[in-house]
């Protein structure tokens, strides 16, 4: 057995090996140690290898999915080795000692999950592949749980941004690639061949040309080849659902780099979870598919005004009709996730329950179509979506006739094909049922004939049906003419066989086996019908998701008093009463009110320089305007009284401080890298938010950098920009930069306490409130008082000499420290004068040196 295991272990590579033994998946050696630690299960041993006990642990087959989920979340990949023949077949093949054949049937990895228990309902699970060809990078991405696949091409320096948008659970790339991402799984470079990728796509979709799906570059096809080869590998030759690939055109979506996405906390907060993120604050979808579509919308806001307008029109239509919206959301809430059910069925991992979900979901879509089509003046986008809801009549009818109302998850026990669908199957079930009634009658007859009232007919998987009587009554059944044959003696009972019982049991077994075979055949027929309609079913799932997104956005708008934005070509940003959706939601929990602020950027006033104290709301103001732009171009209403937004091609956020020690970058280096990206990539149609540029270095360096960056944004990039800073000196830029205006967040001191108003006002800040904020944060009063003295001296020195640090040596604290140092020196000098160095032994000299050192430190 260990020879078989070790051969499979070699094949599993860097994956943990789940080795099927009866009702358990067993792990051995280092796999067992690693899995036991992650799963918190017992680590045992079995036999020896190379003279040492073999570590071992195992998980039950029936609950393996929950353990797999924990291993995948811990970053593991798992190879599943199943028994590929029955013990009876193995015995027939090689005798009683023959080893049951086993083989790896599947690799379970983060990007190739389809099981409900392993997937997050409201999050897409993306597998991506990337490679480079002739100076361009091709990216292929798919979610095999729903089959959606898209291809794109970008420059190597845009790879990180593209991958950040996808948020892939797993990425595969060619071995030795120059731009190989740190967390990529390396695959043989030969798998990333464009001709092979093209051929595989044609074969999968049974077409002679891919022209009907779009125009794909050789780089895209090479990435597709690598993706499909990896899916072939993990599926052991069986591919999952892959829908026709879509082309993601360059410039089709608002561009955001990785730093901007992290700064704006779009899909996850800075703490790493969904709570506190933008999507957590705006998601009101009632289906998992809708939530996944919303996440994609927020990750890739549109650049096409017409598409944005169509989405906004649908949201507005549902926003105006609360009763329709409520009715629609109730219908959607009751629908199963047909996209993922379809994915499991096509991947060969479907169950009767998945077929039942497709029946119910497609039937619900038809009902929804009938309800919506009767409405007058439908929005353009809804008109396009409705045909996808109307079809599938024949398939729904087939599934409705074939399946019981609530099909089971497992199909090996049967019972999921409805009565009346197959007369022959019904007859087999009646035969089995009659035989069971016959056995009950037989039990009564045997009791009467033997006079043993305690006689029972029982069944188990080893003996089948048998007669059992208590030990004290066994003599009556052991008589030669009793008609019973002894089978097994137990501690308190004895078991027998009988000819009539054997005949009835045979009828039950035969009918049951034929019944299961008939149901299995019907299951395969239903699966075939679903697979043939997979593209149309996927279109229905996508239409339902889009409708759910629009209804959820309408609900969020009604709930929060959000307004429909106006999208224009002119590079403006005019927001009245703008609010930060995440902060507002957090304050609402505490029954606090968010202070709204206006923002008005135009070609003549495109750069706002914003001062004021920390905690005054500068960063919140910057981020809320960026999020309003993002939401608007995603097709959502926005948290503002009104919003007029010129299309933004690129969104940049340089807010917050963080380091990247793994890549050898300090906080200031990260800040400069992000600032450099903005200055090199922002266009006149971009929107940039900058917070405290230059704070990570010395005051003079930081001021100089902030000054130069502000000038570059104004003169070279000429983009819309909100620039928050503590450098009061930057206010002088307003004298030379005609499109720059000064603003500040308001604050007041009242009876020695700082009151932060969180309101934006025109003009420069009247003063710095750093010491007041420090006091508010709990810095000890003595430290704040000392800081006030230093500040007064600094400001006096700057005013008198122009030197920022002039005169610090005259401050009392520094003067006292200097005097103390001189006193210590005088004492040590006197000691040294009195020492006769020539008279000291080496030991005495060493002791004296220690003594002088202690005296100097003590003083």
Please list the residues that pair with 52 across neighbouring strands.
49
Q: What gap in Å lies between CA 17 and CA 35, rounded to an integer?
A: 10
Distances (CA, A) of 543 to 285, 386, 630: 14, 8, 23
Q: Can you tell me the distance from the alpha carbon of 458 to that of 748, in angstroms, rounded to the nearest whole number? A: 87
The 566-568 sheet, strands edge to edge:
566-568, 642-646, 573-578, 597-601
First to last CA, the chain: 76
Element housing 81 (H / E): strand 78-83
**Residue 438 tokens, joined:** 């016959």
Query: Scanning the structure block, which residue is given the tokens 């309902």?
Result: 121
- Burial (CB < 10 A; 0-12, 13-18, 19+), residue 348, is middle
Residues linked to residue 494 through DSSP beta bridges, in sequence order: 469, 489
- Spatial CA neighbour of 31 closest among 83, 76, 64: 76
Q: Residue 316's closest CA among 638, 564, 565?
A: 564
CB of 499 closer than 8 Å to CB of 486: no
**Residues contributing to the annotated binding site:** 612-619
Look at phi and psi of residue 533 and say left if phi exceeds 0, alpha if psi is from -120 to 50, else beta.
alpha
Measured distance CA(694)–CA(697) in Å, rounded: 6
Q: Is-contact 595 667, C-beta < 8 A?
A: no
Q: Which residues contact 28 (CB under 8 A, 6 or more apart)?
A: 5, 9, 17, 19, 46, 54, 55, 56
Q: Which of 586, 643, 627 is nearest to 263 (CA)?
A: 627
Cβ pair 514, 394 in contact under 8 A: no
Alpha carbon of 163 to those of 129, 261, 400, 653: distances in Å?
Answer: 10, 11, 42, 18
Length of the chain: 859
The CA distance from 69 to 118, in Å, is: 5
**Burial label, 451 (beta-carbon count in 10 A; 0-12, 13-18, 19+):** exposed
| CB-CB contact of 165 with 250 (8 Å) | no
- Would you state the structure tokens that stand for residue 473, as one six-digit string? 């009554």
Give the angle 523-529-534 at the CA atoms, nearest 5°: 120
The annotation places the binding site for ATP at 612-619
Answer for the pair 649, 682: CB distance below 8 angstroms, yes or no: no
CB 647 within 8 A of CB 566: no
Sign of CA dihedral 618, 621, 622, 623: positive
Tokens of 382: 């809804």
Give percent helix, percent strand, percent coil of the chain, each to the nearest 5.
50, 20, 30
Strand partners, 755: 748
DSSP assignment of 68-119 equals HHHHHHTT--EEEEEE-S-HHHHHHHH-TTPPPPEEEEEEE-TTS---GGGS
CA angle 801, 807, 809 (to 5 degrees): 160
């Amino acid at each position: 057995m260990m020879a078989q295991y070790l051969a499979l272990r070699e094949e599993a590579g860097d994956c943990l090996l789940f080795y099927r033994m009866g009702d358990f998946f067993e792990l051995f050696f280092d796999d067992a140690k690693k899995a036991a630690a992650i799963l918190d299960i017992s680590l045992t041993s079995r036999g020896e290898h190379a003279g040492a006990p073999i570590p071992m642990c195992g998980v039950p087959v029936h609950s393996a999915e929950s353990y797999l989920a924990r291993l995948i979340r811990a970053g593991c990949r798992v190879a599943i080795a199943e028994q590929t023949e029955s013990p009876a077949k193995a015995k027939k093949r090689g005798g009683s000692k023959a080893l049951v054949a086993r083989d790896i049937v599947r690799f379970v990895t983060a990007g190739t999950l389809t099981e409900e228990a392993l997937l997050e309902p409201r999050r897409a699970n993306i597998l991506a592949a990337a490679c480079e060809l002739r100076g361009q990078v091709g990216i292929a991405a798919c979610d095999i749980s729903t089959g959606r696949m898209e291809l794109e091409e970008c420059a190597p320096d845009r790879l990180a941004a593209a991958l950040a948008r996808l948020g892939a659970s797993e990425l595969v790339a060619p071995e030795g690639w120059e731009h190989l991402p740190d967390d990529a799984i390396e695959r043989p470079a030969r798998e990333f061949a464009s001709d092979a990728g093209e051929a595989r796509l044609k074969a999968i979709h049974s077409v002679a040309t891919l022209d009907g799906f779009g125009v794909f570059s050789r780089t895209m096809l090479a990435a597709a080849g690598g993706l499909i080869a990896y899916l072939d590998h993990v599926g052991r030759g069986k591919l999952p659902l892959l829908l026709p690939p879509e082309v993601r055109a360059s410039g089709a979506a608002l561009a955001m780099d990785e730093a901007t996405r992290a700064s704006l906390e779009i899909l996850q907060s800075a703490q790493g979870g969904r709570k506190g993120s933008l999507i957590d604050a705006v998601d009101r979808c009632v289906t998992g598919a809708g939530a996944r579509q919303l996440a994609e919308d927020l990750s890739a806001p549109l650049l096409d005004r017409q598409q944005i307008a169509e989405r906004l029109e649908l949201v507005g239509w549902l926003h105006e009709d609360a009763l329709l919206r409520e009715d629609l959301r109730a219908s959607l809430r009751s629908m199963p996730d047909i996209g993922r059910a379809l994915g499991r069925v096509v991947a060969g991992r479907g169950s009767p329950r998945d077929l039942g979900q497709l029946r119910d979901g497609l039937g619900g879509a038809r009902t929804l179509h009938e309800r919506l089509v009767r409405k007058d003046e439908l929005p353009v986008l809804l008109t396009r979506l409705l045909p996808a809801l109307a079809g599938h009549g024949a398939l729904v009818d087939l599934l409705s006739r074939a399946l019981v109302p609530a099909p089971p998850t497992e199909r090996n026990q049967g019972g999921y094909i409805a009565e009346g669908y197959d007369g022959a199957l019904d007859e087999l079930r009646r035969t089995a049922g009659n035989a069971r009634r016959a056995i009950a009658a037989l039990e009564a007859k045997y009791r009467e004939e033997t006079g043993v009232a305690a006689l029972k007919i029982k069944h188990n998987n080893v003996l089948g049906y048998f007669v059992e009587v208590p030990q004290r009554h066994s003599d009556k059944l052991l008589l030669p003419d009793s008609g019973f044959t002894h089978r097994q003696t137990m501690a308190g009972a004895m078991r027998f066989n009988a000819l009539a019982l054997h005949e009835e049991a045979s009828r039950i077994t035969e009918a049951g086996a034929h019944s299961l075979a008939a149901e299995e055949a019907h299951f395969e027929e239903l699966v075939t019908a679903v697979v043939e309609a997979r593209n149309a079913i996927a279109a229905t799932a996508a239409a339902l998701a889009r409708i759910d997104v629009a209804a959820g956005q309408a609900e969020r708008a009604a709930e929060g008093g959000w307004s429909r934005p106006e999208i224009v070509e002119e590079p403006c940003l005019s927001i009245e009463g703008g609010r930060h959706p995440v902060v507002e939601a957090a304050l609402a929990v505490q029954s606090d009110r968010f202070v709204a602020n206006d923002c008005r950027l135009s070609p003549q006033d495109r750069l706002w320089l914003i001062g004021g104290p920390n905690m005054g709301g500068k960063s919140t103001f910057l981020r809320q305007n960026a999020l309003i732009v993002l939401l608007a171009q995603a097709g959502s209403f926005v948290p503002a009284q009104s919003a007029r937004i010129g299309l933004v091609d690129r969104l940049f956020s340089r807010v917050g401080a963080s380091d990247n020690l793994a890549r050898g970058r300090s906080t200031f280096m990260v800040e400069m890298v992000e600032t450099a990206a903005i200055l090199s990539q922002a266009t006149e149609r971009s929107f940039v938010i900058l917070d405290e540029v230059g704070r990570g270095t010395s005051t003079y360096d930081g001021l100089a950098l902030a000054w130069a960056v502000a000038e570059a944004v104004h003169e070279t990039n000429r983009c819309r920009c909100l620039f928050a800073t503590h450098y009061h000196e930057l206010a002088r830029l307003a004298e030379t930069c005609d499109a720059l205006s000064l603003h500040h967040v308001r604050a007041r001191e009242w009876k020695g306490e700082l009151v932060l108003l969180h309101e934006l006002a025109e003009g420069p800040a009247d003063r710095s409130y750093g010491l007041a904020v420090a006091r508010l944060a709990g810095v000890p009063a003595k430290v704040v008082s000392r800081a006030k003295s230093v500040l007064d001296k600094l400001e006096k020195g700057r005013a008198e000499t122009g030197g920022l640090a002039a005169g610090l040596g005259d401050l009392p604290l520094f003067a006292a420290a200097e005097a103390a140092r001189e006193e210590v020196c005088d004492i040590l000098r006197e000691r040294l004068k009195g020492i006769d160095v020539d008279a000291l032994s080496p030991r005495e000299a060493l002791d004296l040196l220690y003594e002088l050192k202690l005296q100097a430190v003590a003083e």
